[in-house]
Amino acid sequence: MINKSIFDNYNGQEIYKYTLSDDKLQADVITFGATVTALRVNTGDKWVDVALGFKSVTDQIAKGDYMGAIAGRCANRIEDGKFTLNGVQYQLATNNGTNHLHGGMEGFDKKIYSDSTEEGKLLLRYYSKDGDQGYCGNVDFTVVYSVEDGALNIEYRAVSDKDTLFNVTNHLYFNLNGESDGSILDNMLSINADSYTPDRPNLIPTGELASVAGTPFDFTVFKAIGQDINADDEQLKIAGGFDHNFCLNSNHAATAYSVKTGIVMDVYTDLPGVQFYSGNFLSGNVGKSCYKRNSGFCLETQKYPNAINQPNFPSVVLKAGEKFVSKTSYKFTLRNK
């Protein structure tokens, strides 16, 4: 089912909220940032909202931490906002120290999308002009959301009229205990990755694919997110917790569950990486609840950060006229508590 209502008015423009639902899951999605503002899971006796989010567009912009929004054109960091493509040097907007993060000052998380529906799916479209945040090429971008059998399905479609970079993600923060619980440290997690990409102190990958074996980054078997988060490990110190790209072994990227609610979330993607971020920079902003450090975690499916400057990482170049299509699903089920 799809239901449309008004979420907010921003700069004189109506921002709409769509609720996509089946008997297992309800997802609220707004036309600002193509942001998922709530994900309510049916646990049998009640609906539990597992997605952190804000109640207004102004709050989302001021305090948002990209919560539930689309990050793009290029998710995560590009070192110093610089890259060279087809022999031309580009300088992108820098909005995170000297780096470019999640598409720049006004990335895809802060755009207003046009909306339509088709066969039970929500299509949100944004036309990003040549030069937007320093990127080249006009990019016609659509994100398609649907809810089916307890899963939030996300499909990204894009086409550019010039060679450009493209690597979008959805930046949902989860707490499977419920978004108001305050801590994800007891959420159980497994990530289907034998290696990850360590960072330099500026959170740009060194380029190495390091084995997770014997390190706090080994999530190949379930463990609580908090189990090793304070271990004496250089990489955890650099990021203040987990904030790293994991190199996926297969399209079943990760599984998380809550012992308190019994909610299980499986993440599927056709992308090669997932950024596991333990909400280290959350600092008490008030949205639907108050979100402190570690009150939400992200599993942002993506190509690896700063890939354009790392020849050994999978390419993020989108060729002129080529159709970009990629799918990610967050599927919710229940286990015995």
Could you give the residue numbers annotated as active site?
171, 300
Q: Which residues lie closer than 8 Å to 321 by C-beta, 6 or more apart?
A: 159, 160, 161
> Which residues, 191 to 220, sit near ligand BGC by CB under 6 A?
203
Q: CB-wise, 136 or 203, nearer to ligand BGC?
A: 203
Burial letters for 4-33: b for 16+ Cβ neighbours within 10 Å, e otherwise? eeebbebeeeebbbbbbbbebbbbbbbbbb
Q: Please tell me the count of residues contacting ligand BGC according to CB under 6 A.
A: 9
Q: How far is CA 147 from CA 2, 23, 176, 332, in A?
A: 9, 10, 18, 11
Q: What span, in angstroms and rounded, lies between the C-alpha atoms of 281 and 262? A: 27
CA pseudo-torsion sign 337, 246, 193, 29: positive
> Which residues, 228 to 267, sit near ligand BGC by CB under 6 A?
243
Q: CB-wise, 112 or 282, nearer to ligand BGC?
A: 282
The one segment of 157-165, 189-197, 274-282, 320-328 that binds ligand BGC by CB under 6 A: 274-282
153 binds ligand BGC per the rule CB under 6 A:
no
277 binds ligand BGC per the rule CB under 6 A:
yes
Q: What span, in angstroms and rounded, lies between the C-alpha atoms of 70 and 169? A: 6
Six token digits for residue 333: 């089920």
275 binds ligand BGC per the rule CB under 6 A:
yes
Q: What is the DSSP letter of 322?
A: P
The one segment of 19-27, 43-51, 86-94, 273-281 that binds ligand BGC by CB under 6 A: 273-281
Query: At closest approach, how far in Å is the CB of 81 from ligand BGC?
Result: 15
Q: Give the type of residue at 8.
A: D
Query: At closest approach, how far in Å is the CB of 71 from ligand BGC?
Result: 7
Q: What span, in angstroms and rounded, lies between the C-alpha atoms of 179 and 11? A: 29
Query: At closest approach, how far in Å is the CB of 43 from ligand BGC?
Result: 28
Query: At closest approach, how far in Å is the CB of 201 from ligand BGC?
Result: 13
Adjacent-strand bridge partners of 115: 124
> Which residues, 291 to 320, sit near ligand BGC by CB under 6 A?
300
Query: At closest approach, how far in Å is the CB of 131 from ligand BGC?
Result: 24
Q: For ligand BGC, which residue of 7, 18, 54, 66 counts as binding (CB under 6 A)?
A: 66
Binding positions for ligand BGC, rule: CB under 6 A? 65-66, 76, 203, 243, 275, 277, 281, 300
